[in-house]
Amino acid sequence: MSEELFNAMRQSIIDGEAEEAEALAHQALEQGLDPLEAINQGYVAGVNYVGAQFGCGEMFLPDLVLAGEAMKAAVLVLEPEMQRRGTERQMLGKVVLGTVKGDIHEIGKTLVATMLSASGFEVHDLGVDVPVAKFAEKAREVNADIVGVSALLTTTMVGQKDVIEALADMGLRPNVKVMVGGAPVTRSWAEEIGAEGYSEDAIGAVAEAKRLMGV
Ligand code: B1M
């Protein structure tokens, strides 16, 4: 039953049908499905397919745009339930989070924000295309424990290194820890630039943030 729903979710992203993606998200909630499971097994399978087809020239930018819009519509429906299911309510730490300058990919970053906040972190989401200095300024303003930097493009990954340098210039390192992530980001890149945290997905980001807080 849920297999059928996951397939329909995947297809709604491939077709770029935001209304259909949204309706299926409501259906998943009515059936009591885990919202994160719906995202990972349904919708993400769709964006991965579109991304791969785009990568080999079989799909084009408008397809990518529509897939992104459909994915956003579904996540918007599922987010409140993800928040509600967050069980830990004590404040685990403060996280400033954003996607680097020059990069407008927001879906993965927003999922990470939702999962962190559902798990008890106070999250300050700066959005996308965030200038390097803004990460550091916000970290100082809110007395952040962790700065999370997302990058989805090979060309913008270097912005993660720039954020670490900006934090150091403001004298916030090593107290403020840095976590990086995003599709092209690897653990070895994180180590190379001196980021203490890395995760390949939103669930792992929560575990990693807890590790950095020593909880
Ligand atoms: Co873009 N795009 N895109 N795109 N896009 C990719 C990333 C790409 C891999 C597609 C491809 O070629 N196969 C490719 C990048 C290649 C590269 O550099 N390695 C690409 C490209 C080239 C581009 C443009 C340059 C296309 C163009 O204009 N010619 C352009 C760049 C725009 C810019 O940013 N300046 C562009 C634009 C777009 C859209 C705007 C159309 C749209 C985004 C819409 C939006 O976000 N509102 C879009 C989309 C949808 C994608 C794909 C298809 C899907 C991304 C996504 O949402 N994934 C993507 C292909 C792919 O990834 N398969 C692609 C689902 C999401 C849940 O996963 O974002 O990976 P993800 O996040 C995960 C993990 O990475 C991790 O956890 C998340 C949840 O599990 N994670 C973290 C993310 N951040 C983290 C932070 C952490 C920890 C974990 O700690 C802080």
* pLDDT mean over 8-18: 96
Q: Is the CB of 201 under 6 A from ligand 1?
A: yes
Cα radius of gyration (the chain):
17
Q: Locate the ligand 1 atom nearest the alpha carbon of residue 108 and give its number.
A: 72
Contact assessment for residue 93 and residue 35, using Cβ atoms and an 8 Å cutoff: no
Give the pTM.
Answer: 0.89
Which of 105, 126, 157 best tests ligand 1's pocket when mutated (most atoms within 8 Å of CB)?
Answer: 105
CA distance 83 to 136: 27
What average pLDDT does the chain have? Answer: 93
Portion of the chain with pLDDT greater than 70, in percent = 97
Percent with pLDDT over 90 in the chain: 76
Average pLDDT over residues 12-41: 94
Domain 94-213 has CATH 3.30.499.10: no
pLDDT band at 16 (very low <50, low <70, confident <90, very high): very high
87, pLDDT greater than 50: no
Please tell me the distance from the alpha carbon of residue 54 to that of residue 50, in angstroms, as a whole number: 6
Q: Do residues 45 and 65 touch, judged by C-beta distance below 8 A?
A: no
The CB of 74 under 6 Å from ligand 1? The reply is: no
Residue range(s) of every CATH 1.10.1240.10 domain in the chain: 2-85
Indicate the CATH number of 2-85 among 3.40.50.280, 3.30.70.3040, 1.10.8.10, 1.10.1240.10.
Answer: 1.10.1240.10
The finding on whether 107 has its CB within 6 A of some atom of ligand 1 is yes
User: Which of 90, 93, 74 is CA-nearest to residue 82?
Assistant: 74
Residues of the chain within CATH 3.40.50.280 domain(s) are 94-213
Task: Name the amino acid, one letter, at 67.
Answer: A
Q: Supply the pLDDT for residue 90.
A: 60
Question: Would you say the CB of residue 199 lies under 6 angstroms from ligand 1?
Answer: yes
Whether 186 is in the pocket of ligand 1, judged by its Cβ within 6 Å, is: no
